[in-house]
Amino acid sequence: MTSIFSTASEMAESLKQKEISSVELVQMHYDRIEKVDSGVHAFLHLDKAGALAKAKIIDDKRAAGEKLSPLAGIPLALKDVLTQKNQPTTCGSKILENWRPPYDSTVVERLNANDVVILGKTNMDEFAMGSSTENSAYGPSRNPWDLTRIPGGSGGGSSASLAAFEAPLAIGTDTGGSIRQPAAVTGTVGVKPTYGTVSRYGLIAFSSSLDQAGPCARTVLDAALLHQVIAGYDEKDSTSINQPIPDVVAAAKKGEVKGIKIGVVKEFQGEGYQKGVLNRFQESLDILVNLGAELVELSCPSFDYALAAYYLIAPSEASSNLARFDAMRYGLRISETAGQSAEEVMRITRGKGFGPEVKRRIMLGTYALSSGYYDAYYGSALKVRTLIKRDFEKAFSQVDVLVSPTAPTTAFKIGEKANDPLAMYLNDICTIPTNLAGIGGMSLPAGLAEEDNLPVGFQIMAPVMQDDRLYNVGAALERALHEKWGGNILKQIPDLNNLVGIFAGKGSN
Amino acid sequence: MELKEVKHLANLARIEMSDEELIKIQKELDLILNSVARVQEVAKDDIPATSHAIEMVNVFRKDEVKSSLSNQEALSGAPAQEEARFKVPQILGEE
């Protein structure tokens, strides 16, 4: 029986067999959203009328016997960083409140072309800067495993929507870990594809040389099916790679690690890592060895400098990218008195329209790029980027994939790190190197940490354009873990219906 | 970093900030910069810079006429418009 708890591939099969219609499936998810999203707050905007109308069209096409895409009629939650024509697109920022873009991002165009039904836009840290969604101008999302905790960030709305069964698929974007870390802390699957394989056209830029959209799902196969839909060359993105995308769906169906060499990154263990995270990581390694993989411990010494390089490169690019929010052509415009100049209006609007973290990063980037400091900061960071690329190249000359925990800890409490930017930045320590090197990475659930019963993520990294390796290794590990757990890890999530009442709305008594 | 410098940065970034905000961000920037400055430890002279992970040069697309946004669509998000153009506050001073 198909329900909101089914996987996307199960739903697709039921649609194909006409056991359920897309309208019913979409309605089922809106019912769930209505029930639990007051507590979870995964969505910023819903397009119920549009989604149901679209589902009806797809049902009609199916009834007429048209050949449809594998994911036709399946609902999806879209991160609010991607433009969707005439739908609110805020990037979690006040500066874009009420903005309705006049064009679709390429990701949305591809979703539409494949008849995927977009339920609405998901919450995120403002301009994707953060690891918790606490930087959203519209309030944080909450982790369905424990509503007092963060669902990760910046794509916490997308990960929370999956774990809360509000959507079977979601789109995220990953600049330093914003797909993978949210997946890790919510017990879901998230993939950052190789840079340049998913078009950035219509992805509101944070750090152009690092930003990459990717699939979020509850299983490795579901992520692969979505990956296949959104990836591919796009002439509208000048960094798009004009090469065929590897067959990630076949890899996800294969899941065979016999004889595969897996490199364990020495730098991503030890101090600062939660005990339960390391235990689950080790358990997954043991499973992979039992399945016939060969483990090789590797050192990537420059990874210790990745975080520092990232927090120079990303803010530098952001300071330039976010200059476009100038109160002139779209978005917020605030003028306090008549006769103020364009520049004064710009200053006031940006001062009121951007939140603290965005201001922090723009200021940091402006500093790192300013004359006199450029070589010492931005220039040095670019050199570290070269060293990190070399470390990966050396590692991948010895092994097929690299693995690590996705994040050093499980989900922390909302508010716990909100006033300590440096502590917050440490969440991305394991995910950042892949962005700097442009390679693909996946996070999948490795179980629950024994000390807090919260999900732990297992990260897999593969060389450029070898994203199929992520799916192959991920599928093998997932299959073994599902056998061990008696199904998906999300079967162990507490019943949201009991929790939501406590957190619904503001100041409810 | 001196408060004067922080004010200058805010000016360069075109962000209006209260004195209170400037003092707070001054402390935060100092902390962050102290932490990220360690990139200098390994950034030796003989190491080339990488600005893009996947190198590409001269990316062009065909010079073809295609449909684009209509004037109305392009103006659809404008805070103010007049005669099918963006209307902006005055750019030059009185003098």
What is the pLDDT averaged over residues A70-89? 98
Specify the pLDDT at position A337: 84
What is the pLDDT averaged over residues B85-91? 92
Examine the residue annotation and report whether A236 is marked as an active-site residue of this protein.
no
**Candidates A99, A235, A347; nearest CB to B77:** A99
What is the pLDDT averaged over residues B60-77? 93
Q: Where are the alpha helices (DSSP H) in A378-507?
A: 380-396, 421-425, 432-437, 467-485, 496-503
What percentage of chain A exceeds 70 in pLDDT?
98
Per-residue pLDDT band for B92 (boundaries 50, 70, 90) equals confident
Mean pLDDT of chain B: 93
Q: Where are the alpha helices (DSSP H) in A299-431?
A: 306-321, 342-353, 356-369, 380-396, 421-425
What is the pLDDT averaged over residues B17-39? 96
In whole angstroms, give the CA distance from residue A45 to residue A90: 10
In whole angstroms, give the CA distance from residue A40 to residue A503: 8
Strand-pair partners of A264: A297, A403
Task: Decide if pLDDT at A438 tops 50.
Answer: yes
- With CA atoms as reference, the chain B residue closest to A362 would be B13
What is the pLDDT averaged over residues A37-44? 97
Spatial contact of A359 and B17, defined as CB atoms under 8 Å apart:
yes
Contact A341 B32 (CB under 8 A): no
Query: Burial of B16 by CB count in 10 Å (0-12 exposed, 13-18 middle, 19+ buried)?
Result: middle
**Candidates B32, B59, B78; nearest CB to A329:** B78
- With CA atoms as reference, the chain B residue closest to A434 would be B53
Specify the pLDDT at position A423: 84
Take residue B14 and report the two structure tokens written for it. Answer: 């075109």
Catalytic residue among A21, A178, A199, A284: A178
Task: Decide if pLDDT at A506 tops 50.
Answer: no
CA distance B2 to chain A (A): 13
Contact A438 B44 (CB under 8 A): no
Take residue B10 and report the two structure tokens written for it. Answer: 């805010």
Longest dimension (CA), chain A: 73
Task: Decide if pLDDT at A503 tops 70.
Answer: no
What percentage of chain A exceeds 90 in pLDDT?
93
What is the pLDDT averaged over residues A434-462? 98
Contact A364 B33 (CB under 8 A): yes
Task: Decide if pLDDT at A505 tops 80.
Answer: no
Task: Decide if pLDDT at A55 tops 90.
Answer: yes
Spatial contact of A355 and A126, defined as CB atoms under 8 Å apart:
yes
Ordered domains of chain A (ranges, CATH) = 8-304+385-500 (3.90.1300.10)
Task: Decide if pLDDT at A508 tops 50.
Answer: no
Contact B74 A102 (CB under 8 A): yes
Task: Please provide the distance, in angstroms rounded to a whole number, between the alpha carbons at the two ends of chain B.
Answer: 35
Task: Decide if pLDDT at B94 tops 70.
Answer: no
What is the pLDDT averaged over residues A147-168? 98
Take residue A366 and report the two structure tokens written for it. Answer: 């402006």
CA distance B64 to chain A (A): 12
Per-residue pLDDT band for A1 (boundaries 50, 70, 90) equals confident
CATH number of B3-38: 1.10.20
**Candidates B12, B47, B73; nearest CB to A387:** B47
- With CA atoms as reference, the chain B residue closest to A98 would be B77
Q: What does the pLDDT look like over B39-65, one tens digit per residue? A: 999 999 999 999 999 988 888 888 999
Contact B53 A340 (CB under 8 A): no
Contact A386 B47 (CB under 8 A): yes
DSSP three-state, residue B85: strand
Q: Among candidates B77, B62, B10, which has minimal Cα distance to A204?
A: B77
Spans of all domains in chain B = 3-38
What is the pLDDT averaged over residues B1-26? 96
Catalytic residue among A21, A22, A93, A154: A154
Instruction: Please spell the DSSP secondary structure of A75-139, one letter per residue.
Output: EEEEETTB--TTS---TT-GGGTT---SS--HHHHHHHHTT-EEEEEE--SGGG--SSSTT-TT-
Sorted by sequence, the CB contacts under 8 Å of residue A470 that are 6+ apart come out as A191, A248, A251, A401, A440, A441, A442, A460, A461, A462
Q: Which of A135, A320, A371, A383 is the best mutation test for B, with the most CBs of B within 10 A? A: A383
**Candidates A312, A328, A421; nearest CB to B39:** A312
Longest dimension (CA), chain B: 57
What is the pLDDT averaged over residues A2-9? 96
The reply to whether omega before A154 is within 30° of 0 (cis) is: yes
In this predicted structure, which of A197-206, A309-318, A371-380, B59-68 has the lowest mean pLDDT?
A: B59-68
Contact A350 B15 (CB under 8 A): yes
Task: Count other C-beta atoms under 10 Å from residue A242's C-beta.
Answer: 11
Amino acid at A174: D
What separation in angstroms does the CA of A325 have from each of A63, A320, A450, A487, B86? 46, 10, 45, 46, 14
Examine the residue annotation and report whether A141 is marked as an active-site residue of this protein.
no
Specify the pLDDT at position A501: 67
In whole angstroms, give the CA distance from residue B21 to residue A115: 47
Task: Decide if pLDDT at A507 tops 50.
Answer: no
- β-pairing, A261-265 with A294-298? parallel
What is the pLDDT averaged over residues A310-334? 97
Examine the residue annotation and report whether A380 is marked as an active-site residue of this protein.
no
Per-residue pLDDT band for A504 (boundaries 50, 70, 90) equals low
Task: Decide if pLDDT at A394 tops 90.
Answer: yes
- With CA atoms as reference, the chain B residue closest to A301 would be B42
Spatial contact of A50 and A78, defined as CB atoms under 8 Å apart:
no
Q: What does the pLDDT look like over A269-289, one tens digit per residue? A: 878 899 999 999 999 999 999
Element counts in chain A: helices (H) and strands (E): 17, 11
**Candidates B56, B79, B93; nearest CB to A341:** B93
